[in-house]
Amino acid sequence: MPVEVNVDDIVRLRKVHPCGSYEWRVVRIGADIGLKCLKCGRRVLLPRSTFERRLKSFISRAAAPPPEAAAPTRWLSAERADSDSTNTTGVEDSYSA
């Protein structure tokens, strides 16, 4: 099961970065996780599977992103959809048989 990660989370990885820091800020999420070193500012892109193996702990968690937008609502009410076959515009269809 994938780890729940959000942009702006601060994470600690198992291996030290060459600059001496263990702490990173998440800057991108997806199939790859974008990280920025908090000490030197270096940016790296790790596959999610590698990130999950190297993750040791969360230092701080960012606020969860807002839920996805709800599915669009129907434009027509049920009554209107039932009577949709009748012409209510007053304009005759030139292509109707």
Q: For 20-57, how does the pLDDT look when each residue is reduced to its tens digit (9 = 90+)? A: 999 999 999 988 999 999 999 999 999 999 999 999 99
24 assigned to some structural domain: yes
**Phi–psi pair at 52, nearest 5 degrees:** -65, -35
71 vs 40, higher pLDDT: 40
In the structure encoding, which two tokens stand for residue 43, read together?
């940016």
Domain that holds residue 16: 10-60
Q: How many domains does the chain have?
A: 1
25 assigned to some structural domain: yes
Tell me whether strands 10-13 and 55-60 are parallel, antiparallel or unpaired: antiparallel
Biggest CA-to-CA distance, the chain = 79
The pLDDT value given to residue 13: 95
The pLDDT value given to residue 94: 62
76 assigned to some structural domain: no
Instruction: Evaluate whether 22 touches 2 at the Cβ level (below 8 Å).
Output: no
Q: What is the pTM of this model?
A: 0.63
In the structure encoding, which two tokens stand for residue 93, read together?
């269809």
In the structure encoding, which two tokens stand for residue 52, read together?
């999950």
